[in-house]
Structures are given as structure tokens and as C-alpha cells.
Amino acid sequence: MEDIIKLQRATVDEHIRAENAKEWDAVYDTFIQNQTSFYDVIPLGTRFAGISGVKDFYTVIHAAFPDFQITVSGEYDTPGCSIREVTIRGTHVGEYCGIAGSGNSFVFEIACFFIFGTGTNSGKVLAERIYFDNEILLRQLRGETGMPTRIGLAEISHPDISIKN
């Protein structure tokens, strides 16, 4: 069991490292390379099916937020599933949920569930499923001010990191 969790943690670490570096082939390589893999964006009620759908998800997100960066603030692992609490920050450059690129910066928190395959695929991501408050993100993209944006998990977990609203 410890070996499986160690393998999962290494895969998730590589996945997030590659996302931050925008090394898309390395991100895709963390997934099972067939039509069983998928990416779920729960607040949008959207599933990107198959490895081609996973690639489509990242194409859309990178176009909207090309400089996004991920900071992990919590890590939880059980055989078959790794969960990461993360803070994402960046700049809104391209269309997202009908809002044209605004140039506004954003910061919001996400819970990411990495569901792993079995057998020979136990070290590969079958699915990533993300949960977040989309309205918090949309309000920032629209340039609204004076509203709470997040609870600051990155600052709580990593007091040496400074993320501004």
C-alpha cells in the first residue's frame, strides 16, 4: 500500500510541476493514454472524455490563463486517489465562460482529485476531477472589487508565500 501511495505522489508531483512549467506532453504523460481517461470540471458540469479530451481541456485553459501557477497547500492520499488543495493564480488573457480576456489577475482555490488506474496503470491518472467556486473566479475576471475571493490556504499552509488579492 505504501508503494502505491508513493507512486501516486510522484505522479501528482510531476503532473503539477509540468503544469506550472507548461510542459504539456509531460502533463499528458501522467494520464492513461487511451479513451478511458477523462477530466471533470465539476462546477461547469463538464467532462472532457478520453486522452484527446484531456488535451482539449488544457488547450482551453492555457489559452484563457497562459501564465497560471499552482501552489499546493494540502496533500491527501489513499490507494487509488490523491487529493490536492491548491491555490491557482494568473492573468485572464483569453475567453473563459463567455468572458473575453480582461487582463485581470485572479487567485482562487481548488480541490483536485486524481483518480488512478489499476494494475499496470496504477501509477497513471485515470481522471482528474476539480472542485472550485467558479463565481469567485468569474467575479475577479470581470474586475469586481471588495468581495472575498478565497480563504488563503496557500498562506495558511505556507506563510512564506505571499499571494495578494
**pLDDT digit string, tens, across residues 1-16:** 789 999 999 999 999 9
**CATH number of the domain within which 151 lies:** 3.10.450.50
Per the prediction, the chain carries an average pLDDT of 91
**Spatial separation of the C-alpha atoms in residues 114 and 13, rounded to whole Å:** 11
Domain that holds residue 60: 2-157
Classify residue 73: in a domain, yes or no: yes
Classify residue 114: in a domain, yes or no: yes
Q: How many domains is the chain partitioned into structurally?
A: 1
Classify residue 165: in a domain, yes or no: no
Classify residue 48: in a domain, yes or no: yes
Predicted confidence (pLDDT) per residue in 75-112, tens digit: 999 999 999 999 999 999 999 999 999 999 999 999 99
Q: Environment class of residue 106 by beta-carbon count within 10 Å: exposed (0-12), middle (13-18) or buried (19+)? A: buried
pLDDT of residue 2: 83
Classify residue 163: in a domain, yes or no: no
Tell me: pLDDT of 164 over 80. Answer: no
Tell me the whole-structure pTM to 2 decimals.
0.89
Classify residue 80: in a domain, yes or no: yes
